[in-house]
């Protein structure tokens, strides 16, 4: 089997989710205190990983039964591999079975069919298939609810909190390297800090979560390589002694765009994290995409994070976006370990003149405003760019910036929780 065929099997819905059994549960469920089948009310069913999203039509008299319906289904679907059920409710105006009259048109939740009643009933009885929430078919888009009742929000379990996320069995600490906007040197900082942490004695891995613009393979000199797959798990690629994996290793050449909607992108990220044979690591560095979107929220709810490092330039526009990132991490209880001010100054290679092209004091402002450390400043230096483009980052090349990266890495190490000694050790 080729690596691409294996990859398709890995990126299909979770192997632990039994779609046939899900279908049977949804088709066999009867609404409480009635003989109405749930399948007659379902307009949309999507699966993302081990999360099931379902949209149903209800009527005013059934409002008190919604929580029971949700709980019954959640219990039954748990045996099918579903860990979380999100049930969206569209409340109709008429009791079930009432016909359509001309003066009812325009009322919320009401719909009429121009087809014969028998044909319409036959179509209603067909349960939508359980599909991967990747947007592969137009059916999911067409079934999207148009009139959700604001007074009846979706019934769902509370989103997982960072404190409740179980620790990875082989990864001691996960550190996110994030920025509010692109182009501030976040990926370059990620690879150099990872190499600096390794040089200081830690076992380090790198996960490229920048799904739409993966650049880690180029910077670590392994672009074009694809990972082996062992027992439906990726084997990370080695780069300078580190375990590394990026979506860029899976898409072939560097020209292939990753045009995925949010659920598909976050699902791919979770599989890169969970379905990879990571070795025992002291630190996994995750290179985040810019912004504060789906991937950031998914990480906060499903991956145990030790802390985040914010990369910014002194420029006002970059600072405004960096602030949004800090605020997001504060809301999801992820500690911000500090700020790295990139491109803080430029020294002319010909005359030695120093100039602050992007302004001054940006990192200091963030540090003071949010009471977080300023981990360090990095210059706008052509060597950093040239070495990263050549797949030999500054810490490996030993250029002028290498010592700065090592100093920042030491400040990060000082903030890591101390590893607990095994109970059976006597020294």
pLDDT of residue 140: 42
Q: Name the class of domain 162-415.
A: alpha beta
Per-residue tokens: 387: 């070495």
pLDDT for the residue 262? 56
* 280 half-sphere exposure, CB direction, 13 A CA radius: 0
Residues 411-415: contacts with CB under 8 Å, at least 24 apart: 411/338, 411/373, 411/375, 411/376, 412/175, 412/193, 412/197, 412/309, 412/337, 412/338, 412/375, 413/197, 413/200, 413/202, 415/307, 415/337, 415/338
Q: Could you read off the pLDDT tens digit of each residue along the chain, which spans 427 residues?
A: 333 343 444 444 445 677 788 888 888 888 887 778 888 888 888 787 778 888 888 888 888 888 888 888 988 888 888 888 888 888 776 554 443 333 343 333 333 333 444 444 444 444 555 544 444 443 444 444 445 555 555 555 556 678 788 889 999 999 999 887 677 888 999 999 999 999 999 999 999 988 777 889 899 998 888 888 888 888 999 999 999 998 888 766 555 555 555 566 677 778 889 889 999 999 999 998 877 677 788 778 889 999 999 998 887 677 787 888 888 888 888 999 999 988 877 777 777 766 666 666 777 888 888 899 999 988 888 888 888 888 899 999 998 889 999 999 999 999 999 865 444 544 4
Instruction: Tell me if residue 379 falls in helix, strand or coil.
Output: coil
Where do the structural domains in the chain lie, given as residue ranges? 15-156, 162-415
d(CA 426, CA 411): 30
pLDDT at 158: 58
For residues 268 and 49, give the distance between their C-alpha atoms in angstroms, rounded to a whole number.
Answer: 9
Q: What is the pLDDT of residue 343?
A: 82
The helix/strand/coil state of 290 is coil
Annotated binding site: 180-187
Cite the annotated binding site for ATP by residue number. Answer: 180-187
pTM: 0.62
Neighbour tally for 141: CB within 10 Å: 9
Give every CB contact of residue 25 below 8 A, 6+ residues apart in sequence: 73, 76, 77, 80
pLDDT of residue 415: 95
Strand order in the sheet with 374-377: 237-239, 242-246, 204-208, 281-287, 171-178, 307-312, 336-341, 374-377
Q: What per-residue confidence (pLDDT) applies to 16?
A: 66
């Amino acid at each position: 089997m080729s690596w691409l065929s294996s990859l398709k099997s890995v990126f299909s819905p979770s192997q632990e989710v039994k779609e046939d059994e899900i279908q049977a549960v949804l088709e066999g469920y009867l609404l409480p205190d009635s003989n109405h089948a749930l399948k007659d009310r379902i307009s949309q069913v999507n699966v993302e990983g081990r999360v099931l999203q379902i949209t149903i039509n209800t009527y005013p008299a059934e409002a008190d039964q919604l929580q029971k319906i949700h709980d019954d289904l959640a219990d039954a679907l748990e045996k099918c591999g579903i860990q979380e059920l999100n049930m969206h409710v569209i409340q109709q105006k008429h009791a079930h079975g009432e016909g359509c009259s001309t003066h009812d048109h325009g009322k919320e939740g009401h719909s009429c069919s121009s087809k014969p009643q028998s044909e319409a009933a036959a179509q209603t009885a067909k349960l939508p298939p359980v599909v991967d929430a990747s947007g592969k078919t137009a059916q999911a888009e067409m079934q999207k609810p148009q009139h959700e009742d604001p007074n009846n929000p979706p019934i769902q379990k509370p989103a997982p909190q960072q404190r409740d996320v179980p620790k990875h069995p082989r990864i001691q600490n996960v550190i996110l390297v994030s920025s509010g906007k692109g182009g501030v040197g976040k990926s370059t900082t990620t690879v150099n800090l990872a190499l600096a942490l390794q040089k200081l004695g830690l076992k380090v891995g790198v996960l490229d979560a920048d799904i739409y613009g993966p650049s880690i393979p180029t910077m670590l000199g392994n672009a074009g390589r694809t990972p082996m797959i062992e027992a439906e798990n990726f084997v990370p690629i080695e780069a300078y002694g580190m375990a590394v994996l990026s979506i860029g290793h899976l898409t072939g050449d560097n020209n292939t765009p990753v045009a995925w909607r949010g659920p598909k992108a976050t699902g791919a990220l979770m599989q890169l994290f969970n379905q990879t044979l990571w070795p025992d690591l002291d630190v996994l560095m995750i290179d985040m995409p810019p912004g504060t979107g789906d991937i950031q929220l998914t990480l906060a709810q499903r991956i145990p994070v030790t802390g985040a490092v914010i990369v910014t330039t002194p420029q006002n526009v970059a600072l405004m976006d960096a602030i949004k990132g800090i605020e997001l991490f504060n809301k999801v209880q992820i500690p911000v370990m500090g700020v790295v001010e990139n491109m803080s100054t430029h020294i002319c290679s010909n005359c030695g003149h120093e100039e602050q092209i992007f302004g001054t004091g940006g990192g200091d402002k963030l540090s003071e405003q949010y009471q977080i450390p300023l981990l360090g400043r990095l210059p706008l230096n052509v060597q950093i760019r040239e070495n990263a483009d050549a797949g030999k980052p500054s810490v490996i090349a030993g250029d002028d910036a290498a010592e700065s990266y090592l100093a920042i890495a030491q400040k990060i190490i000082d903030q890591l929780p101390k590893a607990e000694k095994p109970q059976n050790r006597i020294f």
